[in-house]
Structure 1
Amino acid sequence: MVFSDNDTLRLHGEALCASSPLPGAAHLVLDAPWGYALHTLPHLPRPVLVVTGVNSAPYLRDLVDLRPQGVIARPVGPQEVLAALGRVAEGECFYEGPVLEDGLLPCERAVLRRLAFGLENAEIARELGVSRRTVENRVGALREKLGLRGG
């Protein structure tokens, strides 16, 4: 099966997969719009390959933490996607993308991910079950680590 929140991309993925049957079952997540894979992956059957155009280390670290069997985070052609699906179907696990060393703690990545979706500190605190002050501290740490100015 092919999963994407972009219907056109999903249909192209389905056509690609139908054009070349795989030796085993594997699912394809086309991460569009960006962030779709983070929300969907925990609920999907395995094995799964995620193809994304995101090159943000914190985002990719969160994605890898969800343990898909394969992640491709670079430009890729249809034949490479089919080959990667075959690798996943055969039980191989792999990651192809930028280095994931970002220096952020998991709790900081959780806050960053929610900031990226436009949540306010109070909303983030509620979602994470922490105090607003804790979220403010983590935002401060993120600004420092990522070299961002206040705003």
Structure 2
Amino acid sequence: MSVGTVLVIDDHPIMRDALRHIAHELFGELHFMEAESLATALPQLASATPDLILLDLCLPGSDDATVLEDLRARCPGPPVVVISHVEDLDTVREVIRLGAAGFVPKSESRAVMLAALQLVLSGGVYLPPNLALQTGEVPSGHLAAAPRASAGAGNVTLTGRQRTVLDLMGQGLSNKHIARELGVSEWTVKAHVSAILRKLGVSTRVEAVVAAAGRR
């Protein structure tokens, strides 16, 4: 998914500035929109629809997940990634139920944020690993993971076909669908996946996708 416009809704100027730098690092030149509340964001949404929205739940005049519900009702198209210091399980379940494409704690690092946004824009759903294991509510066909690459992942070299398989894994495709896409057998795809996991030093498909995202 190409990104030309990003909207950040957060009442802390320092956080908005940090997210601006992350967005430019990830997407290059883009139109950056920012607002300190949903009320100040609405006039901007009336004139332009962003490709991605980064949302803080705890905004002035709003009640946690209610702000996401209101935002989705007014702007249902672009993916919304919730970025919050509130990390309780009930809140995470609720934001995923309401259609958020990801939940990133504000305590996470810049590298985690970059990889999380890459995962979301490839069609996945990002959750921190401890929350992903507890919620069990990630939509079928999507991924939930945290970018935790092995120490040697940065030096890994994948073949062209392995990179293609990894990209399709990042889109949430199963081995069967990858095989159909590439015109090869499912056994061949399984062999590629096994090799990718081994080279990246991870044990699951999700970890492989996010480890690779962290290397880009």
TM-score range, shorter chain: 0.5 to 0.7
3-state SS of 1:79 partner: helix
Give the letter for the 1:92 counterpart.
G
User: Structure 1 unaligned runs (5+)?
Assistant: 102-151
Residue number in structure 1 paired with 2:78: 46
Residue number in structure 2 paired with 1:148: none
**1:12-27 to 2 correspondence within 5 Å?**
12-21=18-27, 25-27=51-53
3-state SS of 2:27 partner: coil
Give the letter for the 1:7 counterpart.
P
**Residues 117-139 of structure 1 deviation map (CA, whole Å, 9 limit, x = unaligned):** xxxxxxxxxxxxxxxxxxxxxxx
Q: TM-score, normalised by structure 1?
A: 0.52
- Distance between the aligned counterparts of 1:90 and 1:36, measured in 2? 30
Residue number in structure 2 paired with 1:91: 123
Residue number in structure 2 paired with 1:76: 108
Cα 1:64/1:83, change in 2 over 3 Å: same
Residue number in structure 2 paired with 1:57: 89
- Distance between the aligned counterparts of 1:100 and 1:74, measured in 2? 19
Give the letter for the 1:4 counterpart.
D
- Of structures 1 and 2, the one with the larger relative CO (CA 8 A, separation 6+) is 1
Cα 1:88/1:12, change in 2 over 3 Å: same
Contact 2:54 2:80 in 1 (8 A): yes
- Distance between the aligned counterparts of 1:65 and 1:19, measured in 2? 30
Give the letter for the 1:40 counterpart.
V
Q: TM-score, normalised by structure 2?
A: 0.38
- Distance between the aligned counterparts of 2:58 and 2:13, measured in 1? 9
Runs of 4+ in 1 over 6 A off after TM superposition: none
Given candidates 2, 9, 12, the residue that maps to 1:6 is: 12
Alignment length (residue pairs): 99
CA RMSD of aligned residues (A): 2.9
Cα 1:36/1:13, change in 2 over 3 Å: farther
User: Structure 2 unaligned runs (5+)?
Assistant: 1-6, 29-50, 137-216
3-state SS of 2:95 partner: helix
Contact 1:37 1:50 in 2 (8 A): no
Q: Shift of residue 95 of structure 1?
A: 2.4
Contact 1:10 1:30 in 2 (8 A): no
Q: Shift of residue 85 of structure 1?
A: 0.8
Contact 2:9 2:54 in 1 (8 A): yes
